[in-house]
Structure 1
Amino acid sequence: MSAAEDGGDRSLGQLVASATTELSALVHDEIALAKAEIRQDVKRGVFGSAAAIIAGVLVLFSLPVLSFALAYGFRAWTDLGLVWCFLIVGGLYWLLAVLLIGLAYAKFKKVKPPKRSISSAKQSAAVLSNVRPHPRAAVDGDLVSADVTRSSV
């Protein structure tokens, strides 16, 4: 309902109060919407995490079975003794582990400290170290901090 429709009988105070109430309701509704969206995203995240954990456990449990299958496959393919086939599979796992450790070491070696953040923090510390405390007023020979009043806007 606009001011023209009700004949302009509403005062400026009433219009401001109405606008404030409507703005407050709008903010409240926006907060409720954000909470609902966050709740939905958290549920999706929990479900996704649970699915990933279950998949990881299944892969972990399948490794011994696949290791046995690979060893018996080597035996059928090469006619080597079963012990040698298991040693080959174990050696392949160790080789893969060494390669992954080398890759991880190479990646960790490339990690560097955040130089821009450190220099920015040092600059901020240098600026703040030059800041002087608030001026103090002497009252009856004692040093007392000056009262600073702020006007409300």
Structure 2
Amino acid sequence: MSAADDGRSLGQLVASATTELSALVHDEIALAKAEIRQDVKRGAIGSGALIVAAVLVLFSLPVLSFAAAYGIHNLGLGLAWSFLIVGGAFIVLAALLGLAAKVVLKRIEPPRKTIASAKESAAVLSSVKPHPRAVTDGADARRGVDMDKPAAVTRS
């Protein structure tokens, strides 16, 4: 005990400790909220930058496609064949990306730990029996409301 606590009763000390613990919990919650707000702000800025980058790449694809097709045409191939080569290259690239996505998606597994924990919790809770409640004559004893009669609606 500190010198300031010498003259205080046990009840006052418990009340003081409870108040300080409550303040500590509130401060921790406020800190967590501030950190989450900061992370959300960073995430929004990063997402916005990623969206702008994706739009710029999307807009650049037709320009680069035409440049590639006309570049192939300048090598002496017909214009139609040049565009077919560029289009075919895009189809091959899309097929390769699709295969890569398929391989990655096949590696996704169900959340085994969560499923096991949920099954364990369900097994524990299935053996729990609710406490029998006292049967009343239709009145809610806590609020003094008769549940058999419709409640009056008050408007403010």
- TM-score using structure 1 length: 0.70
Separation of aligned partners in 2, 1:127 and 1:109: 33
Q: How many correspondences in the alignment?
A: 134
Identity value in percent: 65
**Other-structure match for 2:90:** 93
Task: Calculate the aligned-residue CA RMSD, in Å.
Answer: 3.0
Distance 1:86 1:118, change over 3 A: same
Separation of aligned partners in 1, 2:22 and 2:86: 68
Residue 16 (structure 1) shift: 1.6
Does residue 102 (structure 1) correspond to residue 102 (structure 2)? The answer is: no
Please, which runs of 5 or more residues in structure 2 have no aligned partner? Answer: 135-156
Amino acid across the alignment from 2:83 = F
Separation of aligned partners in 1, 2:93 and 2:46: 28
- TM-score using structure 2 length: 0.68
**Other-structure match for 2:72:** 74
The question of whether the paired residues in 2 share the 8 Å contact of 1:3 and 1:10 is answered with no
Please, which runs of 5 or more residues in structure 1 have no aligned partner? Answer: 136-144, 148-153
Select between 50-59 and 108-117 the one with higher mean Cα deviation.
Answer: 108-117
Select between 110-119 and 40-49 the one with higher mean Cα deviation.
Answer: 110-119
Match of 1:24 among 22, 25, 50: 22
Separation of aligned partners in 2, 1:40 and 1:100: 35
Residue 103 (structure 1) shift: 2.3
Residue 11 (structure 1) shift: 1.6
Separation of aligned partners in 1, 2:18 and 2:121: 40
Distance 1:21 1:108, change over 3 A: closer
Give the secondary-structure state (helix, strand or coil) at the position aligned to 2:3. coil
